[in-house]
Amino acid sequence: MSRSTLGIDMGSVAAVHVLRWIATTSLSATDAVAHEGVGRVIRVVVEIWVGGGMVGLWTVSTGINELSSFLTVLPLRLTRRIKVGDEFSFGVCSQKYKKAADVRYKWERIFEHFKLDHRHYKEICHAFMYAFGSKMAAERNASTEAKKVADPKKIPYNACVSKAAKRNNSTEAKKVADVHYKQDRIFKHFKLDHGHYKEICHPKQEEMQPHPVRDQLPSIAYCITSPPPWPEAILLGFQHYLVMLGTTVIIPTSLVPQMGGGNEEKAKMIQTLLFVAGLNTMFQTFFGTRLPAVIGGSYTYVPTTISIVLAGRYSDIVNPQEKFEKIMRGTQGALIVASTLQIVVGFSGLWRNVARFLSPVAAVPLVALSGFGLYEFGFPGVAKCVEIGLPQIIFLVIFSQYLPHIVRGERHVFDRFAVIFSVAIVWVYAHLLTVGGAYKNTGPKTQISCRTDRSGMIGAAPWIRVPYPFQWGAPTFDAGESFAMMAVSFVALVESTGVFIAVSRYASATPLPPSILSRGVGWQGVGILLSGIFGTGNGSSVSVENAGLLALTRVGSRRVVQISAGFMIFFSILGKFGAVFASIPAPIVAGFYCLLFAYVGSGGLSLLQFCNLNSFRTKFILGFSFFMGLSVPQYFNEYTAVNGYGPAHTGARWFNDMINVPFSSEPFVAGFLALFLDITLHRKDSATRKDRGMHWWDRFRSFKTDTRSEEFYSLPFNLNKFFPSV
């Protein structure tokens, strides 16, 4: 055996030694039974339990001929204990001695092998095993090797017991007299030296070790600071642009008709969103967190924008064009005011102080539900036109997960460009269905969802147009709408914090220092300010789908995302070309959402490696936060869908949004609750800190305590000299 074992190859005299031992029991041949092992080599594994640790493992190898005589006189008393189909309840051992995980593993192997019954545990473990082990020990002492070992008086016999008690946090093991007695007897019997003692107390357990904790995610092809070759980087950047188009198109498609606009206004709004997203992404990757994070539109701002649309002061406007512009100007004013929240909280360092309380336990629900919480935009969107949405999911899974293992090559092509391949195939397939007349007799909703020629953007988009500030007119301000938008901005801040953590994970960077996160929040506030100035009709936050794309491609390079920002600006100016890609049917977008959002959610679950999952405190915080993070928003969303308004329903729409929007956000509810419970249930002792995972994140709580932070997050052009991070 490869572990700390004492091996004896009995060879041809095995049966003799065994029969001598059987003879001491005074059993006759009539009290024996046949054994199933006749005709093949059998390994008998015996282990002796000593105070929470293993002191020996013997392997007896016997030949076929020698076994024949032995097996015919196997004691009936033992075979009754080894019945086929019997199950052994391991709780007997564990409750008495609280054995460590490695000891449990060995014991389970033995009892499963012999199918022992728990009723015979005491008799088997103490009587049979100790007697049989003593006989084998006699052979051990007879060898020449035993004469070379050190004086047994030098062996700290109680060391194993104390180590086991400390490891299991148990005082009971120290009080068990027979444990000390057995320990002393066995060490003296075998004349073990310090080398044997070390092996026994610290057995080799390679196969029992859990996966090692990684503060940087391995298996990333290109991390944040290592760009791929330029041709590959350009294609990957275009793929990021293609992915972020989904949110950029869906939000204006939903808002513009309610605002009174048509296809031309929708095309201009999409162009403006793209242009501002490109600028914000550049600012974030150069001066913000410096993570490969795309800053684009957010669904979080949509309910508040709709409240502005439904405001009474716009209901009397008859001209749709005028109504659209006035609503857009009101939205601009609310966004400009709301941007001050993130700018102040971020650049002042307030969010840095909050982030320092964030432990891995509290971060898991926040990050996980930043992805999983968007499930309503996944398969429900696919089901609107399942004949093209479902093939998108299937092709994306095949290209990203299966083909790389079937078609092996030096270059990663299928998994790295899976979105481009799958979207191109399904888009052509959807166009063939459209021109083939598959949707001629269907309803209007089906035609809008499935047809590739119903977006209306290609004809309405101008060839060349540069978005400019206040293009819709001077912004207007309303106090209530501004307060509501500030509340939504805070919700977006919390959600972006979770996505930033996921991006740092998939970029193979170290966990975000709180000062860097706060700096990124400040620049995100600048992005919201630009959204208000240019008139996007929607605020800005970190793109969840692009964070998932980092995991899908295993490319977390900053340069790739900067190239994608260039594509956003380029196609926002060349309107016709951008409108071609923006006309991708929504079910195709929902199809790749299913994978990309799932990757972000699993990024949150990967933080569990830092936590102690055997702690009931950890179980409570995680379970309760996840459950309430899903249950509370479900109630708010169902109530709104049935009644047309949220549970908070007063005459002031802005107040309703301040209550309804935060509690409709899964990551906000789960993250806030997990952080509150983690702080208030915190006991100031080292065991609790380890349960929370804070001992892993301590060195990342400051920018200067880990040398890798300088490599990943330092500002370019030596700006750290003027804007140092703390």
pLDDT value, residue 353 = 94
Using the structure block, give the residue that is written with the tokens 């915190």: 682
pLDDT value, residue 460 = 87
Contact 594, 379 (CB under 8 A): yes
Contact 284, 568 (CB under 8 A): no
Total domains present in the chain:
1
The answer to whether residue 532 sits within a structural domain is yes
The answer to whether residue 140 sits within a structural domain is no
The answer to whether residue 272 sits within a structural domain is yes
Is residue 723 exposed (0-12), middle (13-18) or buried (19+ Cβ within 10 Å)? Answer: exposed
**DSSP, res 609:** G
Q: How confident is the model at residue 507 (pLDDT cuts 50, 70, 90)?
A: very high
Residue 550 has pLDDT above 70, yes or no: yes
Residue 370 has pLDDT above 60, yes or no: yes
Phi, psi of 62 (to 5 degrees): -125, 155
CA 19 – CA 161 distance, rounded (Å): 34
CA 400 – CA 649 distance, rounded (Å): 46
The DSSP annotation for 391-425 comes to HHHHHHHIIIIIHHHHS--SS--TTTTHHHHHHHH
Contact 446, 385 (CB under 8 A): yes
The answer to whether residue 295 sits within a structural domain is yes
Write the pLDDT tens digit of every residue in 116-153.
554 444 444 444 444 444 445 444 444 444 444 434 44
Average pLDDT over residues 319-348: 96
Phi, psi of 33 (to 5 degrees): -135, 165
Phi, psi of 323 (to 5 degrees): -60, -45
Write the pLDDT tens digit of every residue in 296-310.
999 999 999 999 999
- How does 238-276 read in b/e, with b if 16+ C-beta sit within 10 Å? bbbbbbbbbbbbbbbbebbeebbbebbbbbbbbbbbbbb
Average pLDDT over residues 162-190: 52
Residue 162 has pLDDT above 80, yes or no: no
To which H or E segment does residue 514 belong?
helix 514-534
pLDDT value, residue 144 = 41
Helical pair 544-553 and 586-605, crossing angle rounded to 10 deg: 70
Residue 167 has pLDDT above 70, yes or no: no
Q: Which domain holds residue 505?
A: 230-610
The answer to whether residue 201 sits within a structural domain is no
Amino acid at position 319, single letter: N
Query: Greatest CA separation found in the chain?
Result: 109
Contact 414, 476 (CB under 8 A): no
Give, in degrees to the nearest 5, the angle at Cα 201 between 195 and 204: 85
The DSSP annotation for 529-574 comes to HHHHHHT-SS-EEE-HHHHHHHHHHTB--HHHHHHHHHHHHHHHHS
pLDDT value, residue 242 = 96
* Higher pLDDT pick, 405 / 32: 405
Give the chain's mean pLDDT.
79
Residue 602 has pLDDT above 90, yes or no: yes
The answer to whether residue 622 sits within a structural domain is no
pLDDT value, residue 536 = 95
The answer to whether residue 315 sits within a structural domain is yes
CA 372 – CA 378 distance, rounded (Å): 10
Q: Which two tokens stand for residue 254?
A: 């939903």
Average pLDDT over residues 462-480: 94
The answer to whether residue 659 sits within a structural domain is no
In the chain, pLDDT over 90 holds for what percent of residues?
58
Write the pLDDT tens digit of every residue in 224-280.
999 999 999 999 999 999 999 999 999 999 999 999 999 999 999 999 999 999 999
Residue 330 has pLDDT above 90, yes or no: yes
Average pLDDT over residues 549-571: 96
Average pLDDT over residues 560-573: 96
Residue 503 has pLDDT above 70, yes or no: yes
- How does 527-541 read in b/e, with b if 16+ C-beta sit within 10 Å? bbbbbbbbbbbbbbb
List strand residue ranges (DSSP E) for 12-113, in order.
Answer: 32-33, 43-50, 53-62, 74-75
